[in-house]
A and B are shown apart, each in its own frame.
Chain A
């Protein structure tokens, strides 16, 4: 016969057992941040060429301090898309047939290889003065962002007009970071 005392003791044992079981697995603090999209923007990149079929431009993101706090943590950052937006000099970007965006660490002593992060070739679909290029591969680029700067090389192919024009470049990433304090 189960007595009430027995049932109460069982209940108390279950409560205490649950707590003691969970206790060792609990960190004091665990923080996880999810960044759906963060973009580095290089404004007003100037282009001045005669009519050509290909064009290469380079620039450097020289201040990554804003993302260094994320890069210091146990973080993962993946390139999502690049956005090229003509701001003056041309009506639209319909003349672009192919774009390749290569990312290189700006650290002179780096061993990180250049990565073709975004490209489109024949399937570029500019929307007026804006061209969005999807990421070519899912790759954790956190090591590139831990350096003080990253260099971006852009190669255009198409019927590039003789003009002087400017564009803004957005390099967009998504990421997550975690931080744990264990007893």
Chain B
């Protein structure tokens, strides 16, 4: 069983006889090492090297190099990494993990699949996107683990300034991946009349209802993303719930009213809107 553990981390050489049942290291998700290609083939395993003569009973203790490091960093990052390099400092941990038997590889794989954090990957980034109802948003991005991305930032919808925060689940560690995102945002009240005048071309347009326009929104989006390590382009689409209050409706209706009847909204109406929504944007990861 111990012989199978290194195979989870090291790929067999071309001439070696791999165990058919052992998964190849290319299948291990985690922080990818190359955005543009799948995981590179790993370096030849030490198992391919001539073993020094040793008593069979001593073999587990006498084999230091194929480490079973739970940190993704211990995995060779490129084909240039030499398996003949000195043993990893945490090699004794491998010996400690071995007695766990078959559960040890499963736990290792589960950790990598969930996206154990790699100290060598960029966690912080900047995000910019454009969509509805979000408007244009710039955000700070943080990846606590590979599969989860948090973001918070400032928005503008051509009416007023807003804020937005959210979380994205990226299930695959590949260069392309589907995603699931939820976000919540808020736009403060602003005057929408200039925007309507600019769009319609009617410079005399004015509506009391548009004097104060603001809303809160929540998004639930499915998405598709390209790129992982330092740059990500994405398209998200789904549903949004938008809530807001309509102000100055009395003034608006009275301007249209005639006769002896007047209409007064003594309490401002509230509006809730469910709609399809979408946005596209990109992320640049800047710092570890």
Contacts and interface: CB of A to CB of B under 8 A. Distances in A.
Nearest to A63: B259
Interface string B231-252: 0000000110000001000000
B268 to A, nearest CB: 8
B257 interface: yes
Given A1-B105, A3-B23, A15-B179, 10 more contacts: A3-B27, A4-B27, A4-B112, A8-B174, A12-B177, A29-B274, A29-B276, A30-B273, A36-B267, A38-B266
9 contacts: A2-B109, A7-B113, A12-B172, A28-B276, A29-B273, A32-B271, A38-B264, A42-B261, A43-B262
Interface residues of B, number: 47
Contacts of A29: 273-276
Interface in A1-52: 1-5, 7-8, 11-12, 14-16, 18-19, 22, 26-43
B29 A64 contact: no
A67 interface: yes
A121 interface: no
Given A11-B171, A16-B178, A18-B222, A35 B269 contact: yes
A19 B220 CA distance: 10
B257 A66 contact: yes
Nearest to A171: B261
B51 interface: no
Q: Which of A11, A26, A27, A31 has the most CB of B within 10 A?
A: A11
A41 B172 contact: no
Given A31-B271, A41-B264, A64-B261, A19 B222 contact: yes
A interface, over-half SS: mixed
B234 to A, nearest CB: 14
B272 interface: yes
Contacts of A43: 260, 262
A15 B222 contact: yes
Contacts of A41: 261-264
A31 B28 CA distance: 46
A61 interface: yes
Nearest to B242: A31
B39 to A, nearest CB: 11
